[in-house]
Amino acid sequence: MRAKISLILAMVLIVILLFTSCSAGKEELVPGRYAGFKMGDYMDLTSSTAIGGSIMELSLDGETLLLEKRFAKGTEEFVIYVAKFSKASRTTSFWYGLIREVSNDFRSVVSALPLIYGEFQDEIRQGYMKAWFSGKWLYVFLGKTKSEVNSAVKTFKEFEKLLVKSVDS
């Protein structure tokens, strides 16, 4: 009788282990997953992923995951950066430096709720920039005109909804 109970317990344990080891783990959303993003009439020039690197010549720490995508339409270039920082405090810190670099101290301070969300859009030296951060995530879009950038952001957000949905399912 005792051997029978031990055998049943061993079989139950094996079945539980099989089910837990076969179940799919939740996939993490990382910047590299955005590499498939395309923009209608634009030629996809490059997509590069890195740990660390820089955004508009501002260095990232060695724990930040970065995707840089470059597109072209005619002779005009369009650049997208998607970064995921290890902590929301690092995102906010980088944000203040980035906005200070392209605008001024006042705009950098009023453009963000620390650790939560920040948004900036305006003409800069390189053309037009729209950027935002949310928690650990930072997004930067650089193009020639406001309408071009806003159109790309709209397309990107539609792509992102589908991407998040595919990762969650």
Task: Work out the pLDDT band at 167, boundaries 50, 70, 90.
Answer: confident
What is the homologous superfamily of the domain 29-168 according to CATH? Answer: TM1622-like (3.40.1000.20)
- Higher local confidence (pLDDT), 8 or 146: 146
Helix (H) or strand (E) holding 164, with range, is: helix 146-168
d(CA 95, CA 118): 8
pLDDT digits (tens, 9 = 90+) for 91-105: 999 999 999 999 999
- What is the β-pairing status of strands 137-143 and 65-73? unpaired
The answer to whether residue 166 scores a pLDDT higher than 90 is no
Please state, rounded to an integer, the average pLDDT across all residues of the chain.
Answer: 88
- Please report, for residues 102, 120, 152, the alpha-carbon distance to residue 117 in angstroms, rounded to integers and kept in the order given: 18, 11, 20
The encoded tokens of residue 124 equal: 């800069």
Q: How crowded is residue 69: how many other Cβ atoms within 10 Å of its Cβ?
A: 25
Which residue, 117, 115, 97, 94, is CA-closest to 107? 97
The answer to whether residue 148 scores a pLDDT higher than 90 is yes
| HSE value, Cβ hemisphere, 13 Å, CA-based, for 127 | 19
The pLDDT of residue 62 is: 94
pLDDT digits (tens, 9 = 90+) for 61-93: 999 999 999 999 999 999 999 999 999 999 999
Q: What is the mean pLDDT of residues 153-168?
A: 93
Q: How crowded is residue 166: how many other Cβ atoms within 10 Å of its Cβ?
A: 11
The pLDDT of residue 126 is: 84
d(CA 108, CA 29): 27
pLDDT digits (tens, 9 = 90+) for 36-65: 999 989 999 999 999 999 999 999 999 999
- Higher local confidence (pLDDT), 133 or 28: 133
Specify the amino acid at residue 79: V
